[in-house]
Amino acid sequence: MAAAIDDLLHLADNALVLGQRNAEWCGHGPVLEEDIALANVSLDLIGQARLLYQHIATLLNETPALASSCKALTGMQVNGSWTEDLLAYFRNADGFRNYTLLELPHFPSATGVLAGTTSAERDFATTIVRNFLYSALMLLVWDTLSHAEDAELAAIAAKSAKENLYHLRHSRDWLVRMGDGTAESHQRAQAALNHLMPYTQEFWAGAPAHIAELQTRWNELVDDALLEATLQRPQAKGHVAGGKQGLHSEHLSYLLGEMQSLARQHPGATW
């Protein structure tokens, strides 16, 4: 059961962190339609995170021994009942289990991963490529989990799978449009792909069997889209990130600092 909680946190944290990143485009989209589209993707992801956190909180409240192991896993000291807000707003970065890919900023790929305090212009290609690589994975993950023995998880997966189909269609369409578009859009898409692809190693490193066996199908989805987009698939080589083990880039702490600040300043506040 402790391993199951770790897996559920991983799913929830992925959705929350990428949802927060996509929300950063609200009011800054390249065109109004994309401003709205990315906001909707963000709302879907945060909705998925909420359902998963609520499920986790229920399991922890019903099983004290499980709650003790979760405290050790997340570094949290909880007096009273676990809630979705505690899990989202009162964990530090090292208690999160999301893929490192999802916490990276929307920096232009040519700039590289800058210090967390550095500001840079958002790069739409970086956002699109990341959303595509992740939603291609989740197309397969949610389908697998929709048959889980945990009935609540299966229901969440079935709902999330429908939303993820839109996310994948949206990001894939833009990937093809940019890759097979102008010289500049092609260059930006290729640069984003070169920058982000190495982080996808974490999808498979130490993954449980039901995830590891999806790699071939994920590769097929990715290769099919890249062929249509006239983009070259870079090798996924280099440092294997450890976000699933709580080892994150410095960017996550800044993201959480912004996301969690209000809840931490006014714990227990109601409106």
The neighbouring-strand residues paired with 78 are none
On whether residue 192 sits in a domain, the answer given is yes
On whether residue 56 sits in a domain, the answer given is yes
On whether residue 269 sits in a domain, the answer given is no
Alpha-carbon distance of 270 to 85, in angstroms, equals: 12
| Helices assigned H by DSSP within the chain | 2-23, 32-62, 64-74, 84-89, 124-145, 151-179, 183-196, 209-212, 215-228, 251-265
Q: Which residue has the tokens 């260059």?
A: 187
91, 57 in Cβ contact below 8 A?
A: no
On whether residue 144 sits in a domain, the answer given is yes
pLDDT at 221: 98
On whether residue 215 sits in a domain, the answer given is yes
Structure tokens at 72: 């050790």
Greatest CA separation found in the chain?
Answer: 58
pLDDT at 110: 60
Residue of 210, 38, 213 whose CA lies nearest to 135: 38
Domain encompassing residue 148: 2-264
On whether residue 202 sits in a domain, the answer given is yes
User: Taken in order 162, 130, 248, 201, is the CA torsion positive or negative?
Assistant: positive
pLDDT at residue 243 tops 60: yes
On whether residue 204 sits in a domain, the answer given is yes
The fraction of the chain above a pLDDT of 70, given in percent, is 94
Encode pLDDT of 19-69 as tens digits: 999 999 998 888 888 989 999 999 999 999 999 999 999 999 988 878 777
On whether residue 270 sits in a domain, the answer given is no
CATH number at residue 241: 1.20.1260.10
Using alpha carbons only, what angle is made at residue 146 by residues 175 and 164, rounded to the nearest 5 degrees?
A: 20
Phi, psi at residue 128, to the nearest 5°? -65, -45
The SS3 call for residue 247 is strand
Residues 6+ apart with CB under 8 A from 42: 19, 20, 22, 23, 25, 26
pLDDT at residue 112 tops 60: no
Q: At what angle do helices 32-62 and 124-145 cross, to 10 degrees?
A: 40
Its pTM stands at: 0.93
Q: What is the mean pLDDT of the chain?
A: 91
Alpha-carbon distance of 128 to 167, in angstroms, equals: 10
Provide the domain count of the chain.
1
